[in-house]
Amino acid sequence: MLSDTQAIAVTVGNVNEAPAITSNLGGATAAITVAENTTAVTQVTAVDVDAATTLSYLITGADADKFTINASGALSFITVPNFEAAPTDANGDGVYDVIVEVSDGTLTDTQAIAVTVGNVNEAPAITSNLGGATAAITVAENATTAVTQVTAADVDTPTTLTYSIVGADAALFDIDINTGVLSFKNAPNFEDKLDAGADNVYNVDVVVTDDGMLSDTQAIAVTVGNVNEAPAITSNLGGATAAITVAENATTAVTQVTAADVDTPTTLTYSIVGADAALFDIDINTGVLSFKNAPNFEDKLDAGADNVYNVDVVVTDDGMLSDTQAIAITVSDVDEASTGGVNISTYITRAGDADLTATNTIVDPDAKTGNAPYQWQSKIGSNWVDIAGATSSILANQTGITARVTSSYNDVGGLHNFTSAETVFVGISGNDSLNGTSGVDVILGLGGEDFLNGGIGDDTMLGSYGDDTYIVSDAGDVVTENVGEGFDLVIATIDHTLADNIEMLALELGNINGTGNALDNMLFGNSGDNVLNGAAGSDTMMGGSGEDMLNGGLGNDTMLGSYGDDTYIVSDAGDVVTENVGEGFDLVIANIDHTLADNVEMLALGVGNLKGTGNALNNLMFGNNDNNVLNGAGGSDTMTGGAGADTFTYNNASESGLGVLSDVITDFTNGIDKLDFSGIDAISGTAGSTFLAIQSGVATTNSAVAGQLYYYYDGANTVVEGTVDNIAGADFQVTLIGHQTFVAQDIVL
């Protein structure tokens, strides 16, 4: 168990050893799967036991040209691989083969890497509307709800894309989740802005999502464009048709057509067409529709001749869009006032009976039914009763009856009854006393001496045979008498002119007037102031106690004014004026030469070269504008010649007194008027003796010689005086108003 020991120093020498790849589990091969769309593959790492060794990497192999590796061993694709693209590896199997070699400068290690590109889910991409994050679309209002179809692409197949919307106005849209069809829920209206911005730009975000919940979004601004919309007629309940009824005759107005147009501003224009358009007018601006002439139900002018007038009203906007309403205008029948009436128009009277004839002049534009032109009635007590069978225009052989005539018919206004304005009273053949009503009466006396009183109203009275008396109290009363039917009297309470063949007129109380006819009438006034005019014939007129005017007219008339200051108009040489003493201060207006009757104070001459002569009274006498001859006769007269060359005559020295009892001439004009003393015997008792020329002076201061004429001024007047005897002093005087300077022709000696 013996030993020996040797200490041996063994030195280990360094030998270069090859580096060893450690990445991807090391080894000669490795398999790697990388996601598409990125270039990074792997980080190749290696170890080398030899310290301070620098390692370098390179790649070889079938697909080395597709890769790159940097100095630190980072392996990557040169081009980003795409799973969905066709494989670009050498054998086209989608596995890229590359050999990675690590070297320490001498020794190497290699690893064959099989790189498989794995599929990665990629987000879809919206491709419609030019794609992109935003899009702008314009759609027209109203026409449709469709906006667009959103489309998207997704490289991952198969995959299901789902569409949805969000955004400010998303609630107003729908989108088909499968097809991407985007639409408004309701067709948009430019005039009704519902978008959040109220500017007709609707904002919606469309989102497309794949199975992997990846998505793309496009913000779409949908602008709603304005489209010209047709106006809409709103009047008469709107709609394509309307029915209106208007009453005939009253007016041309039919309706005012109104329309609405959502497009503003716009101008609406109204026009008409249709079967009956030519009968209408329409205001192009206001839409007022009217007949050109008021329609008449009875005169059917419409095309259908049925009183339904058809007209199409058209309203048109600025863009020439329009709406039409067919209006059927029915003209309704209105109860129109009738004209005319039923009247008792003529009468035939005999001594014992009368025939009555009626006339029906009723005209009614409306159609009549149940027309009864005539129905005669008689009055029984206070009731009117139809006379059986009396339905013709003539009611014959009537006596002792009160009658009237009626007519009736129906039309659109119902029953219409007409009654004659006249009530006829037919007397009997004897003496009647017939009194009318307050209406229009016809009173027929027949034979006998009848008393006919029309009463109030416009009455017609026919006394017929016999001496009849009429009471006239209305201006419309008519009295009729035929030749040879008696000596008749009218008692009038109003102004009245006698009808033909009536002989007498008596005026009742009041200041009323009466006029005669061509007969020799008797006219009687009353206590009032009456005007009596005899007209033709030789009339007898008595004025009564008022201040009356009596005009005889033609014929030889007898006029008695009686009490009161009366005026007479004398036009015929045979006229006789009678006034009694103390019956007033009376005037005659003469249209012929005239001499005042006794007790008449004044005379006025009418037109023409007339002569007037006074009476024994102190007369007032007036000429006219022509050449008159005035003779005062007895009394202290005042004479006015008027215009013209007038002659004032004296036939006896007693015709003018002295001083205040002398005649007065108010308007003597030198060289024109004349004083005619040739009718006076200048020397009393010597017929035909004449005066010497007039001279200035006063008879009482000259010798008392007959046949002298003098004149002198007495204050403002001129006195002409004469002597007819040989006794000193004047025997007559004439006073001329104003100072007169006589020439030879002024005095007729």
Task: State the average pLDDT over residues 494-518.
Answer: 94
**How far apart, in whole angstroms, are the C-alpha atoms of residue 531 and residue 514?**
6
The answer to pTM > 0.85 is no
The two three-digit tokens of residue 250, written as one number: 């009253």
d(CA 439, CA 312): 56
The domain defined by 518-737 carries CATH number 2.150.10.10: yes
Average pLDDT, the chain: 92
User: Can you give the pLDDT at residue 700?
Assistant: 60
Give the pLDDT confidence score for residue 316 in this predicted structure. Answer: 96
Q: Please tell me the predicted confidence (pLDDT) of residue 369.
A: 82
Q: Give the pLDDT of residue 703.
A: 55
Asked whether the predicted pLDDT for residue 364 surpasses 90, the reply is: no
Residue 563 has pLDDT above 60, yes or no: yes
For residue 349, the model assigns a pLDDT of: 87
Residue spans of beta strands (DSSP E) within 354-463? 354-360, 369-380, 383-386, 394-398, 401-411, 414-419, 422-426, 433-435, 440-444, 451-453, 460-462
Give Cα 213 distance to the centre of its chain.
80
Query: Is the per-residue pLDDT at 347 higher than 90?
Result: no
CA–CA distance, 25 with 111 (Å, rounded to integer):
10
**Do the Cβ atoms of 747 and 674 come closer than 8 Å?**
yes
CATH topology of domain 338-487: Immunoglobulin-like (2.60.40)
pLDDT of amino acid 18: 86
pLDDT at 705: 83
Instruction: Name the pLDDT band for 444 (thresholds 50, 70, 90).
Output: confident
Q: Calculate mean pLDDT across residues 625-649.
A: 96
Distance CA 613, CA 639 (A): 11
Q: What pLDDT, on the 0 to 100 scale, is given for residue 713?
A: 95
Dihedral over alpha carbons 593, 598, 599, 600 (to 10 degrees): 0
Assign 499 to helix, strand or coil.
Answer: coil
pLDDT digits (tens, 9 = 90+) for 46-56: 998 888 889 99
Whether the CA torsion 567, 572, 573, 575 is positive or negative: it is negative
Q: What is the pLDDT of residues 112-166, one digit of tens each?
A: 999 999 888 888 999 999 999 999 999 998 878 999 999 999 888 889 999 999 9
Using pLDDT thresholds of 50, 70 and 90, give the confidence band for residue 683: very high
Query: Once rounded to an integer, what is the mean pLDDT over residues 528-556?
Result: 93
Percentage of the chain beyond pLDDT 90 is 74
Same fold, 338-487 and 518-737: no
Residue 459 has pLDDT above 60, yes or no: yes
3-state helix, strand, coil in the chain (%, to 5): 5, 40, 55
Residue of 569, 570, 550 lying closest to 560 (CA atoms): 550
Is the per-residue pLDDT at 110 higher than 70? yes
Residue 685 confidence class, pLDDT cut points 50, 70, 90: confident
- Is 252:293 a contact under the CB 8 Å cutoff? yes
Question: 265 preceded by cis ω (within 30°)?
Answer: yes
Mean pLDDT, residues 377-395 taken together: 93
Q: What is the dihedral of CA 729, 730, 731, 732, to 10 degrees?
A: -160
CATH ID of 125-225, from 1.10.10.10, 2.60.40.60, 2.60.40.10, 3.40.50.720: 2.60.40.60
Q: How confident is the model at residue 640 (pLDDT cuts 50, 70, 90)?
A: very high
Can you identify the CATH homologous superfamily of domain 238-332?
Cadherins (2.60.40.60)
Write the pLDDT tens digit of every residue in 229-253.
Answer: 899 999 999 999 999 999 999 889 9
Measured in residues, the chain has a length of: 749
Share of the chain above pLDDT 70, in %: 99
Q: Where are the domains of the chain?
A: 20-118, 125-225, 238-332, 338-487, 518-737
In whole angstroms, give the CA distance from residue 583 to residue 575. 19
- The pLDDT, as a whole number, for residue 559 is 92
For 39-91, write each residue's pLDDT tens digit: 999 999 999 888 888 999 999 999 999 999 999 999 999 999 988 888 999 89
Q: Does 702 have pLDDT greater than 70?
A: no
State how far the Cα of 194 lies from the Cα of 613, in Å rounded to an integer: 118
Average the pLDDT over 16-36 and give the result. Answer: 91
- On the 0-12 / 13-18 / 19+ scale of CB atoms within 10 A, 716 is exposed
Q: Is the pLDDT of residue 704 over 70?
A: no
pLDDT at residue 699, as a whole number:
62
User: Candidates 2.60.40.60, 3.40.30.10, 3.60.15.10, 2.40.110.10; correct CATH number of 20-118?
Assistant: 2.60.40.60
